[in-house]
Structure 1
Amino acid sequence: MSRLPVLAIVGRPNVGKSTLFNRLVGKKLALVDDRPGVTRDRREGDASLLGLEFRVIDTAGYEDEDPDTLPGRMRAQTEAAVRGADAALFLIDARAGLTPLDEEIARWLRTQTVPVVLAANKAEGRSGEAGLIEAFSLGLGEPIAISAEHGEGIADLFEQLLPHLERETDEEEGEADRAAPLKLAIVGRPNAGKSTLVNAMLGQDRLITGPEAGITRDSIAIDWSWRDREGVDHAVRLIDTAGMRKRAKVEDKLEKLSVADARRAVDFAEVVVLLLDGTRGLEAQDLRIADAVLQEGRALIVAINKWDVAENPGGLFQGIRAALDEGLSQARGLPLLTVSGKTGKGIDALVEAALALRATWSARVSTGQLNRWFEGAIEKNPPPAPGGKRIKLRYITQVGTRPPSFVLFGTRVDQLPDSYLRYLVNGIKRELGFATVPVRLAARAPRNPYRPK
């Protein structure tokens, strides 16, 4: 795996560096107190900001002291952290305004080769406006108004840090993901033939099967090696789960525990196979299970089992295809395959489809390609203007994979109708290669520090 990019937070004592550090790492790892000088050593943690993953360093307050003193040695540690980082976040206190030490730090940062993002902390309300305006004089570009304590200005901070901390997936990392075991869960209603199918995959009677519904109670994970047509072995972790009945019909405490265990197995999986009983077709409970899988962001395949004994197979397949597209409009066109746990037919095609689906689920589109598509999409269908006021969409970026996740930036995006967001999601799926997996899209608007509270 390639290393995470590194962000160093720097500033004079007591401007809120440790508070911001704690917010970025999602834990209270750094001590926070009103007294200056609480942080002395560099503290590091893995951070996540709207899906952007990076390593963050909380540094000691930068003070102008003799190098042999404790504050001087702390300053040397801070300087070393900045020089080793991919970007530096210079934090000032918007309420207190600029100090001579802020100006000295800015002069030093301008001599460094590390990109610098300037943020004015404690900018909530009107008390920070003067300090925010003063910060322009530091010569480090436009300051971002944030509140580390209240989480305000996070979208703006993300936007400024993204060009410096975005990590492209390299070939070695992609190969490592493909070499990792495929986590494949088999789910469905009771007696759909899940355990029989797993036994057929393994080539042995590893799991108890029979005509009685509900034999499987615990989710069973089994490691398996599958060989493709080119003779390449692929590691697979098969997860057989208990049947999921409609919630209202589940009264037995043990069955409730079994269903809960099956839902946890879905959380653990990368690709989920929803197994249908080919002698019964698609039922409402199947759609509920499929929707729950997609809501969890997992890649989904629907497989029709007992295909060897299904009546009118052509009509059955087309009927299920149409019902899926209508009942799961958010996942129109998801893979639909046929298998037989009894004869083993269709198993190779099922695993091939699961491996391909995982690759799509884990894929990342380049920022350039994404924004070229985005510009064309909004030119073809501009966003609406509710109340006569224009919604301006600025750009879009992919912030995560597994499932593919995107953030849309612009002004007044909170007024975008759901229909327009669906238009964008459908475009991403159709034109950027994500048609078969769930896609998540969030909209973020920058905070206006001058807007009346």
Structure 2
Amino acid sequence: MGATVAIIGRPNVGKSTLFNRLVGKRLALVDDTPGVTRDRRPGEARLGDLRFTIIDTAGLEEADKSSLEGRMRRQTEEAIETADAVLFLIDARAGVTPLDAHFAEVARKTTRPVILLANKAEGRAGESGLYESYSLGLGEPIAISAEHGEGLADLYDALKPHVDRVSDEEQSNREEAVVNVDVDEDGEFIEEQDPAGTKERPLRVAIVGRPNAGKSTLINEMVGEDRMLTGPEAGITRDSISVDWVWRDRHVKLFDTAGIRRKARVQEKLEKLSVADALRAIKFAEVVVVTLDATMSFEKQDLQIIDLVAREGRALVIAINKWDLVEDREAAWKKIRDANERYFNQIRGVQITTLSGIQGQGIDRLVESVFKSYEAWNARVSTSKLNRWLDRVTANHPPPAVAGRRIRLRYMTQPKTRPPHFIVFCSRPEQLPESYTRYLVNSLREKFNIQGTPVRLTYRKGENPYAPGKKRKIQ
């Protein structure tokens, strides 16, 4: 994308609604509550033949620089500094407020071209506010309705001098180059030939965890700038924000997510939307880093998040953050190791890394663990090796006999990776106990070094040629 356009304005004027309209997806959270957006969120926008990067920002408010609102305002100011053009939104139905007038003065001082938009102008209710907006000194306002898509032709004409136009052929080439996230009906990834980590196909990594575990601080330290809004307050992050990053010539797309609390504690609609956005980030990530607070690690909610990631079938890394605050590190590490052996049977051998996001310690180890986990997630074993292994493990520990008849495991294959998925063809699979499945999975992990990723093992029953209704083939 060439040009960058920032959307600014006071809270609750419809900035995120316009953002979603221009990107063509419901990426940004939208609610009637003022101040929903806190971090600046980029997106790939299209308006006719115009293609540009649009940035959704927090609502401008007058506040002390050290307060949460002040830090949100600084994020918006940085978006203005990097933009090629600015869309200044007001609420036409509310008219020009003192806050609009104050920040219009700030907008007039910028060297960037500013386009004044009077949102919510559908019907007669917005006419008075539209005429009032001339007093802001930002030129002729454009009446739009972000909710209903009205006025976008006038917005196109205003943006055309500042934004690149793309032909149909160029757009077709761009769409072919876009990497789509393909999952099947079970939420498992459809295999791709090209490995992740290239510029065309960055590795998708979601950073998740409980509120105030240091997720945003960690990402800021990784990318080397204050990209995410941080602070001592819990639950600052609401949207899932993506950031492109290059580590040792390997391309990564990081997703910062809202903290996930226990379901019983999530009461407000806005927090439910934030948690749903975080869960969606997990579903479309390839590797998930579960961030734990070293001063209170492995609480029940941590284990539930880890279990959720395993059930979704994503590669997993556990990051023990705030390690610099731990006094007795030997005792803390013993507790972590014990918890690993006790709770993580389905992801045995998971990568666990200690780090300090605020001091930048352990980040290289963390990313190395991410790529190791990704390799295990893509592990593939040939059918011949699998069946030689199956013969040995069933000889050493045969399946149990049920009703006096031994269950026979005949054949094994691996149809999928991401995560590794194995199928065993056997007689009477419904009578095979869960304990024997765990034995097979653990043996698989040890033999083929498939550590730290979920492993799927399912059974299929071979057809009985002597069953009623079966026709025997004549040689």
Quote the Cα distance in structure 1 between the aligned partners of 2:322 and 2:197: 31
Contact 2:288–2:309 at 8 Å: present in 1 too? yes
Letter in 2 for 1:250: V
Letter in 1 for 2:219: V
Quote the Cα distance in structure 2 between the aligned partners of 1:422 and 1:380: 15
Dislocated runs of 4+, deviation >6 Å = none
How big is the shift at 1:175?
Answer: 5.7
Counterpart of 2:216?
195
Contact 1:325–1:331 at 8 Å: present in 2 too? no
What are the residue-to-residue correspondences of 1:145-224 with 2, within 5 Å? 176-177=195-196, 179=198, 180-224=201-245
Contact 1:189–1:285 at 8 Å: present in 2 too? yes
How big is the shift at 1:332?
Answer: 2.7
Counterpart of 1:21?
none
What are the residue-to-residue correspondences of 1:217-236 with 2, within 5 Å? 217-227=238-248, 233-236=249-252
How big is the shift at 1:308?
Answer: 1.2
How big is the shift at 1:311?
Answer: 2.3
Instruction: Identify which of 325, 330, 333 aligns with 1:317.
Output: 333
Letter in 2 for 1:343: Q
Quote the Cα distance in structure 2 between the aligned partners of 1:178 and 1:443: 34
What are the residue-to-residue correspondences of 1:90-101 with 2, within 5 Å? none
Quote the Cα distance in structure 1 between the aligned partners of 2:307 and 2:447: 23
Contact 2:414–2:422 at 8 Å: present in 1 too? yes
How big is the shift at 1:307?
Answer: 1.0
* Corresponding pairs, count: 277
Residue deviations 1:292-335 (CA, integer Å, cap 9, x gap): 00001111111111111222112112102211321222223311
Contact 1:241–1:262 at 8 Å: present in 2 too? yes
Partner of 1:243, secondary structure, is coil
The TM-score, its normalising length taken from structure 2, stands at: 0.57
How big is the shift at 1:266?
Answer: 0.5
Partner of 2:446, secondary structure, is helix
Letter in 2 for 1:209: T
Contact 1:217–1:242 at 8 Å: present in 2 too? yes
Counterpart of 2:392?
376
Contact 2:317–2:351 at 8 Å: present in 1 too? yes
How big is the shift at 1:281?
Answer: 2.3
Instruction: Identify which of 265, 276, 280 aligns with 1:264.
Output: 280
Residue deviations 1:174-227 (CA, integer Å, cap 9, x gap): 664454311111100000000000000000000000010110001111111111
Where does structure 1 lack aligned partners over 5 or more consecutive residues? 1-168, 228-232
Counterpart of 2:429?
413
How big is the shift at 1:280?
Answer: 1.8
Counterpart of 2:414?
398
Contact 2:197–2:251 at 8 Å: present in 1 too? no
Counterpart of 2:299?
283
Letter in 2 for 1:203: G
Letter in 2 for 1:321: R
Where does structure 2 lack aligned partners over 5 or more consecutive residues? 1-190, 470-475
How big is the shift at 1:370?
Answer: 1.2
Partner of 2:273, secondary structure, is helix
Quote the Cα distance in structure 2 between the aligned partners of 1:375 and 1:397: 13
Instruction: Identify which of 357, 361, 366 aligns with 2:373.
Output: 357
Residue deviations 1:146-169 (CA, integer Å, cap 9, x gap): xxxxxxxxxxxxxxxxxxxxxxx9
How big is the shift at 1:412?
Answer: 1.4
How big is the shift at 1:401?
Answer: 0.2
Quote the Cα distance in structure 1 between the aligned partners of 2:250 and 2:403: 56
How big is the shift at 1:366?
Answer: 1.2
Partner of 2:218, secondary structure, is helix
Q: Does 2:284 align with 1:292?
A: no
Quote the Cα distance in structure 1 between the aligned partners of 2:289 and 2:418: 16
Quote the Cα distance in structure 2 between the aligned partners of 1:444 and 1:197: 44
Counterpart of 1:138?
none
Counterpart of 2:448?
432
Quote the Cα distance in structure 2 between the aligned partners of 1:176 and 1:418: 34
How big is the shift at 1:367?
Answer: 1.2
Residue deviations 1:281-300 (CA, integer Å, cap 9, x gap): 22110000000000011111
Quote the Cα distance in structure 2 between the aligned partners of 1:325 and 1:318: 11
Quote the Cα distance in structure 2 between the aligned partners of 1:345 and 1:325: 26
Q: CA RMSD in A?
A: 1.6
Quote the Cα distance in structure 2 between the aligned partners of 1:323 and 1:390: 36
The TM-score, its normalising length taken from structure 1, stands at: 0.59
What are the residue-to-residue correspondences of 1:324-343 with 2, within 5 Å? 324-343=340-359
Quote the Cα distance in structure 1 between the aligned partners of 2:425 and 2:253: 39
